[in-house]
Chain A
Amino acid sequence: MSKMHLKLTVNGQAEELRVEPRELLIHVLREKLNITGPHIGCETSHCGACTVEMNGKSVKSCTVFAAQADGAEVTTIEGLSPLGEMNVLQNAFREHHGLQCGFCTPGMITRAHRLLQENPTPTAEEVRFGMAGNLCRCTGYQNIVKAILAAASEMNAAKEAAE
């Protein structure tokens, strides 16, 4: 089967490469583009460790063919802190012990980022519902929810201060 010419934007940078259509987006990101923030936990669409943003939606990149991403805008955890500094969500996760081993964290934060774009003032219940596609084997979730709520307040305070 023929390879295809894939064009996509990853973290603001235009990329062009040749792939087989059956390659999964997570493999292209990690193995071809050396973007190793998104992790492979289950590879069966369940854990959310591979979550990236594609055209403004959180997707599990183990369940997207590279071919489907042709022409897409993709953002990974690397793209959320382009200057190499920790962003508000990352700091909140550190502050509130929202991680232990850290394996789920890139997916968690990438998903939480989109959740807060869509709902900047979520309740704890809404955070839990909105994070249902991301599994963590370590923390028991309590502190992940706390971290996301704290990041939301901080982002809203910053927005108000700017207005």
Chain B
Amino acid sequence: MIPSAFEYHRPADVKSAVGILQAQGDEARVLAGGHSLIPMMKLRMAAVTHLVDLQDIAELKAVSIAEGKVTIGAMVTQHMLIDNARLAASVPLLREAALQIADPQVRYCGTIGGNIANGDPANDMPGLMQCLDATLGLAGPNGTRNVKARDFYEGAYVTACEDDELVVSVTFDVPKGGHAYEKQKRKIGDYATAACAALIEMDGGTCRSASIAMTNLSDTPIWSRSAGAALTGTRCDTEDIASAVTAALANINPTEDNRGPVAFKMHVAGIVIKRAITRAIASA
């Protein structure tokens, strides 16, 4: 359980971090909380010769909520997300989901940026960011560019983040309406067997907008445009919810693993999607 040897770097700002990534090419990897990367390195499933620890970069730890926009630095930990009262008041969905990730020790270390950039379909933040329609800020040799969370994931562990880039922030509008994050797992601290994030805005009994995203049910997170469309403009009665669930299930493609066979995952997915939508409507 000892990883292979590497050079350790601890830059003090984003520019120097990018400089190291640029100089070392694909031999270098960024280290955030380490709670996905270190286990992979210990299993020697990730080969890294230059490790770039972001812990000293203060600018990546900021949270701002202003003019209806939320911006969170990549190095903000899951613990900080839970602990930040202003954030909990503006975006209760984020706190609700962060509390369902791993266990306290992991949440003190694991960061929002690492969870988003990792690319493991089992991570909870990616689906959540797609539900919130977040924009990711990526810093690279030519400055910073923005990529929508809904365009960021290409396959398992394959994202739009280039080898010489790092995720610096996420930005999204303060969500309106009701919300829910429903996660089915084998035990506390486990990754999702299936999870669903829902944000639903109601206007006098009619659904004005609905955003539905799912975790660990395909090789990327899945935002279901058709599930949202099935609810928008309706009164969200039992049949409308059933059509949205059917639409969402048509977008996913789970595979069999130690969390169960495909039929079981589709069954669990149907339940968590329905619960998330129902609860989001109730709180809208």
Contact = CB atoms under 8 A, between A and B. Distances in A.
B268 interface: no
A130 interface: yes
B188 A45 contact: no
A129 B104 CA distance: 8
A1 interface: yes
A1 B2 CA distance: 14
Contact of A133 (B2, B7, B38, B105): B105
Contacts of A136: none
Interface stretch (A16-24, A77-85, A87-95, A148-156): A16-24
Interface string B98-132: 00001111101100000000000000000000000
B23 interface: no
Contacts, number: 83
Contacts of B255: none
Contacts of A39: none
Contacts of B4: 22
Contacts of A4: 8
Interface string B1-45: 111111110100000000000000000000100110011011000
A65 B19 CA distance: 23
Nearest to A115: B104
Interface of B: 1-8, 10, 31, 34-35, 38-39, 41-42, 51, 53, 55, 79, 102-106, 108-109, 188-189
Interface of A: 1-2, 4, 20-24, 43-46, 48, 51, 57-60, 62-65, 67-68, 70, 111, 115, 129-133
Given A22-B3, A65-B31, 4 more contacts: A44-B42, A57-B79, A59-B109, A65-B8
